[in-house]
Chains A and B, each alone.
Chain A
Amino acid sequence: MEVNIRIAGAAGQGIQTAADLLGRAAMRGGLHVYHYSDAESRIRGGLNFSHLRIANRPLAGVSETVDVLVALSEDGLRAFGDAVDAAGMVLCKGQWSHPCALPFHLDELARQAGSSRAEGVVAVAVVAAMMGLAQRTVSELVEERFVKQTQLMAANKQAVELGFAAVRAANPDERFRFTLASAEDNRLWISGGQATALGAVAGGVSFLAAYPMSPATSVMTNLAQWAAQTGVIVEQAEDEIAAINMVAGASYAGARAMTATSGGGFALMTEGISLLGMIEAPAVIVLAQRPGPATGLPTRSAQGDLHLALHAGHGHVPRVIFAPEDIADCLHLTAIALDIAERFQTPVLILTDQLLMDSQTALPPFDVDDLPTERHFLSATQLDELADYHRFAVTADGVSPLAAPGASRHVVVASSDEHDEAGHIADSVEIATRMAQKRLDKERTIATQVQLPLTLSADPAGRQLVLSWGSAKHTVAEALSLIDNGRFAHLNLRQLWPFPAAELTALMERATGVIVVENNVTGELARLVRAETLRAADTVVTKLNGRPLTVQELVRRLRGEV
């Protein structure tokens, strides 16, 4: 069973708060929850919504289905009222009408509770009651949430009472009532941004510098909130250029360093990424994509910066590019990225997007025991035994022994100019050749040693191979299952560079056709696939409007292709 709840209204009406309370309440009731939000770039007004999918099985795709519409504004009712069919339910104000409107209303109950600002909590209570969640759970969540706002707390607690009472009195049918599992639940209510920040801690991050930019800001916000507990140094830089150069300086000084930004900020960082390549400084850069060009759609989502990430930085810069496929993967790949960055002394880029960063879900505590815990710097003892230390010593695999300044009697020299093995400026033919070759050797080492496993839904023999990447995974998988799983083999890529060209070529040869699905205007993965496998996809499904791909639109569009 699954219930899709859409809470729509203006910015500032408490949509996020209501969605957060309802999501947590469902989690504490033992249900699965996936929440994504759709918001304009403003603090007050406009039309925003939060969409919660609540089910007794895991769900993480983006759906257009609306079973329950909570309309906090008339615009919200107008925009999504038609999406509610006869089996649905609408909760709105008394003066608005909808065939599925409940007999009681948000504004009346909120007024009775003592504050018009309690409409959101009334809605939470009504929907929770309809789903069979415990009133006590919702009351506790309201107490936790409004602990510092005494007046709002009283009104909102009353709103919970009235919402549950209204549902009892109306005695509605039980079409939204879940059979609840155990109430004991140790799961976490977590967003992609929080999972990325948690992954950074799990991966031993010790320094983050960033400049606020949607949808990446939550990484910095969460790490800053946790700084006292974790000891991570969080620096709000004066601009993204400062942020990436701070990352370079911190990394040189021995920190596991990272930053998080979106397309415009990342564009400013590109000279710094080139620097990281030249001085072989470990660094993790989270690129949370939103639609461009320029300021684009600041609060929307896209997968449109893959080629920017692939080519950012002048000259040739070895790099690794990961794209987490869901909220849990944000944690794992961020932690792994910090290790890989230090092991190979190279920038690692993590491509997420607004959809992934701002979505929330209920997840069990993470299994982190398999995450890497090794540091890759020479110890003080190892350094003491060296007669000389050369930061860029040529080695068989292109990876030089890494040392931090101050760790020993040796000095550590890094230069953005071409340099000799000791790090000093050099431009002789011999040294330039040797150092360029060293970096190429390192790139080859990375290509052989950094290979995330490819997870296919089925063997592509006799099927259409559907390729997607990053955050599109669950939406594409759900759409394919609704059409006919037997006709497809789905592969969602989490590692975009080094590119798994050989494996992919073999898979493409076995398949009856290749379909690429991605949320950008040109088909960036499709272009990469063609460049690396010399084979073009038969169909490329793209999207122009900066909204996430949805299950329903993919069903419509892919049906025509098979």
Chain B
Amino acid sequence: MPVTIADYQNDVPNQWCPGCGNFPILDAVKMALVELQLAPQDVLLVSGIGQAPKLPHYLRVNAFNGLHGREAAAATAAKLVAPHMTVLVHAGDGGGYGEGGNHLLHAIRRNIDLTMIVHDNKVYGLTKGQASPTTPVGTITKINPEGVTARPLNPPALAISQSCSFVAQGSAAHKEHLSMLLAEAIRHRGFSLVNVLQPCVSWERVYTYAYLKEHAYELGGGYDPRDRWAALRLVLEPDGRLPLGVIYREERPVYELRGSTHEDVPAYVRPVQPRSIETLYERLR
């Protein structure tokens, strides 16, 4: 039986604002999983706290909705324990780049086979409009009445500089393209960071659907994502337009393949064998 969108439907009441940029991202995730013919029981979505991290509840799938910012850490362990699972991480720009910034750095270092999707709407939505790590300088918020002065983080540049093995940018206003991008990120063996530009209909008035439609463009066939310096130039020297697509990729050894001796026995049925400690006694004499 082929996997269809219907397999991923559930009836959990949605808590997002009408028109939220998370809706097309949710659609794109389902479309990508169907495109890859992955069954819901073989897919795990890991998230933290915020509006974006509620996404795993709104499709029928294994879901670990943990603590704010700790998505990558929890997902890393789940993938190590259950390497056959396809593991996606959903975070907002607050959780992924603020509270969880350290975990992102180390997920990149490990190159564990996770697809981390950061819903980057450049604002803290659920806490009512504060600046996020990616909010542009000058943005007025209740906490920054004179405008944000800290420079926004440049997530793709950060990831490329650390040899993140797959760095992409998508847009919630380009759903079809996003679903293809997510499928490619999931297929990639290693850690994938997909920064998704997303409108916030309640707090953010700049990055609207219309703005994204007008300023974003899809990287064409002439662009080589294996050229690290070209990738860095693309994200460090913006020309006012927003590139969408695979910005950088490289092949690196995948972390969880370093191997456990019990790979063929799922962790939840692995036997408890107290006498197995006897094989360690020779080290203690």
A interface residues with partner B (beta carbon < 8 Å): 24, 186-190, 194, 198, 201-204, 206-207, 209, 225-233, 235, 237-239, 241-243, 245-250, 252-257, 271-272, 275, 279, 335, 338-339, 365-366, 368-369, 371-375, 377, 379, 403-417, 423-425
Residues 54-83 of B at the A interface (beta carbon under 8 Å)? 54, 56-57, 60-67, 70, 73-78, 80-82
- Which residue of the partner chain A has the closest CB to B272? A204
Bound together, the chains give a CA A243 to CA B102 distance in angstroms of: 12
Contacts of B80 in A (CB 8 A): 207, 233, 235, 250
B272 touches A413 (CB 8 A): no
Q: Which of A253, A279, A406, A425 contacts B77 (CB 8 A)?
A: A253
Against A, the Cβ 8 Å flags (1 = close, 0 = not) of B81-101 are 110110000000000000000
Residues 158-200 of B at the A interface (beta carbon under 8 Å)? none
Q: Is B143 an interface residue (CB 8 A)?
A: no
Supposing A250-B78, A253-B82 touch, asked if A371 and B274 sit within 8 A by C-beta, the answer is yes
Q: Is B128 an interface residue (CB 8 A)?
A: no
* 4 smallest beta-carbon distances between A and B, as pairs: A254-B268, A204-B272, A249-B74, A368-B274
Bound together, the chains give a CA A457 to CA B262 distance in angstroms of: 45
Q: Which of A375, A403, A409 contacts B272 (CB 8 A)?
A: A375
Q: Is B32 an interface residue (CB 8 A)?
A: no
Q: Return 17 A-B CB contacts under 8 Å, by A number.
A: A203-B272, A230-B280, A247-B77, A248-B66, A249-B66, A249-B78, A254-B269, A257-B77, A271-B67, A279-B64, A374-B272, A375-B269, A379-B269, A405-B78, A410-B41, A416-B66, A417-B65
Contacts of B75 in A (CB 8 A): 249
Supposing A379-B269, A408-B41, A413-B63 touch, asked if A209 and B77 sit within 8 A by C-beta, the answer is yes
A411 touches B279 (CB 8 A): no
Supposing A242-B102, A375-B269 touch, asked if A201 and B70 sit within 8 A by C-beta, the answer is no
Minimum Cβ distance to chain B for residue A247 (Å): 7
Against A, the Cβ 8 Å flags (1 = close, 0 = not) of B234-271 are 00000000000000000000000000111000111111
B41 touches A242 (CB 8 A): no
Supposing A254-B82, A272-B67, A365-B278 touch, asked if A377 and B102 sit within 8 A by C-beta, the answer is no
Contacts of A375 in B (CB 8 A): 268-272
Contacts of A279 in B (CB 8 A): 64, 66
Contacts of B262 in A (CB 8 A): 206, 231
Q: Is B6 an interface residue (CB 8 A)?
A: no
Q: Which of B62, B73, B267, B275 contacts A242 (CB 8 A)?
A: B73
B82 touches A246 (CB 8 A): no
Contacts of B267 in A (CB 8 A): 206-207, 250, 253-256, 404
Since A238-B105, A275-B67, A405-B78 are in contact, a sample of 10 more A-B pairs with Cβ atoms closer than 8 Å, ordered by chain A residue number, is A204-B273, A207-B77, A245-B73, A246-B76, A250-B81, A252-B64, A254-B266, A272-B70, A373-B274, A407-B266
Q: Is B277 an interface residue (CB 8 A)?
A: yes
Q: Is B52 an interface residue (CB 8 A)?
A: no
Contacts of A231 in B (CB 8 A): 260-262
B273 touches A373 (CB 8 A): yes
- Which residue of the partner chain B has the closest CB to A238? B106
Contacts of B65 in A (CB 8 A): 413-417, 425
Bound together, the chains give a CA A413 to CA B268 distance in angstroms of: 16
- Which residue of the partner chain B has the closest CB to A237? B73
- Which residue of the partner chain B has the closest CB to A239? B102
- Which residue of the partner chain B has the closest CB to A374? B272
Bound together, the chains give a CA A46 to CA B275 distance in angstroms of: 42
B70 touches A245 (CB 8 A): yes
- Which residue of the partner chain A has the closest CB to B66? A416
B102 touches A238 (CB 8 A): yes
Bound together, the chains give a CA A220 to CA B266 distance in angstroms of: 22
B interface residues with partner A (beta carbon < 8 Å): 12, 15, 40-42, 44, 46, 49, 54, 56-57, 60-67, 70, 73-78, 80-82, 84-85, 102-103, 105-106, 260-262, 266-281, 283-285
Bound together, the chains give a CA A206 to CA B103 distance in angstroms of: 22
Minimum Cβ distance to chain B for residue A45 (Å): 30
Contacts of A408 in B (CB 8 A): 41
Contacts of A188 in B (CB 8 A): 281, 284-285
Contacts of A203 in B (CB 8 A): 272, 274
B272 touches A373 (CB 8 A): yes
B70 touches A253 (CB 8 A): no
Contacts of B106 in A (CB 8 A): 238, 242
- Which residue of the partner chain B has the closest CB to A230? B276
B272 touches A246 (CB 8 A): no
B285 touches A189 (CB 8 A): yes
Minimum Cβ distance to chain A for residue B278 (Å): 7
Contacts of A228 in B (CB 8 A): 261
A405 touches B41 (CB 8 A): yes
Contacts of A374 in B (CB 8 A): 272
- Which residue of the partner chain A has the closest CB to B11? A424
A406 touches B82 (CB 8 A): yes
Minimum Cβ distance to chain B for residue A173 (Å): 32
Bound together, the chains give a CA A232 to CA B102 distance in angstroms of: 25
Most buried by B among A187, A194, A403, A411: A411
Bound together, the chains give a CA A42 to CA B169 distance in angstroms of: 47
Minimum Cβ distance to chain A for residue B143 (Å): 23
Contacts of B56 in A (CB 8 A): 413
- Which residue of the partner chain B has the closest CB to A360? B284
Q: Which of B54, B64, B76 contacts A235 (CB 8 A)?
A: B76
Minimum Cβ distance to chain B for residue A48 (Å): 23
B270 touches A206 (CB 8 A): yes
B73 touches A406 (CB 8 A): no
- Which residue of the partner chain A has the closest CB to B72? A242
Minimum Cβ distance to chain A for residue B245 (Å): 30
Q: Which of A206, A241, A415 contacts B57 (CB 8 A)?
A: A415
Q: Which of A187, A249, A415 contacts B76 (CB 8 A)?
A: A249
A248 touches B74 (CB 8 A): yes
A253 touches B78 (CB 8 A): yes
Supposing A377-B269, A411-B40, A414-B63 touch, asked if A254 and B77 sit within 8 A by C-beta, the answer is no
Contacts of A252 in B (CB 8 A): 64, 74, 78
B273 touches A207 (CB 8 A): no
Most buried by A among B67, B81, B106, B261: B81
Contacts of A242 in B (CB 8 A): 70, 73, 102-103, 106
Bound together, the chains give a CA A253 to CA B63 distance in angstroms of: 10
B57 touches A424 (CB 8 A): yes
Most buried by B among A242, A246, A405: A405
A245 touches B268 (CB 8 A): no
Minimum Cβ distance to chain B for residue A27 (Å): 8
Contacts of A410 in B (CB 8 A): 41
Contacts of A339 in B (CB 8 A): 272
Contacts of B57 in A (CB 8 A): 413, 415, 424-425
Bound together, the chains give a CA A412 to CA B61 distance in angstroms of: 7
Contacts of A335 in B (CB 8 A): 274
